[in-house]
Amino acid sequence: MRLKNKIAIIFGAGQAPGETPAIGNGRAVSLLFAREGAKVMAVDRHLDSAEETVSLIQDEGGEAEAIACDVTVEDDVIAAIQACTDKWGRIDILHNNVGHAAMGGPLELSQSDWQRELDLNLSGVFLACKHALPLMLEQGKGAIVNISSAAGLRYTGYDYASYYAAKGGVNQLTV
């Protein structure tokens, strides 16, 4: 119960349809945090998927709420953070887990696809940090976990330039 009575907001807490493995990072972290005693605000673009995560947590006796949020929309991120503080009064842990990789390099990707991937994988992390940090500073404590990828450090054998760039940016934002 290392997280007993802690409040965690997890962006990307749902499960992409047909995602392999059967349980992704966001859902796994949500379940683990709840098993360790945290109250979890499960945030995902797909509300039904976040609600499935909440149901799994509640089935194990944990406490959780779900909210829909597109991390590329600042007002959505603000609303998710506000919902968490309205419900439990604070945020002890911010966990940024959203990620997606569009295939293609500079020759194949359109500028709009490039920008969408940067917004989803990097700007969403920035927005969540931007709006959670003032609360944590006011509280005098808090933890932020930004999930990146080995792709942010090196070529992994896949042609997804925007993902490499965005995850490298997450690494630098987190330093």
Distance CA 26, CA 40 (A): 11
In the residue annotation, 158 being an active-site residue is answered as no
Within 10 Å of residue 7's Cβ, how many Cβ atoms? 22
Q: Are 42 and 64 in contact (CB under 8 A)?
A: yes
Backbone angles phi, psi at 9, to 5 degrees: -110, 125
Largest CA distance in the chain: 50
| In contact, 173 and 144? CB cutoff 8 Å | no
Half-sphere exposure of 80 (CA within 13 A, CB side): 36
Q: How many whole angstroms separate alpha carbon 12 and alpha carbon 41?
A: 11
Catalytic residue among 155, 160, 163, 164: 163
Round to whole Å and give the CA distance between 94 and 110. Answer: 32
Residue 155 and residue 161: Cα distance in Å, rounded?
9
Active-site amino acid positions: 163
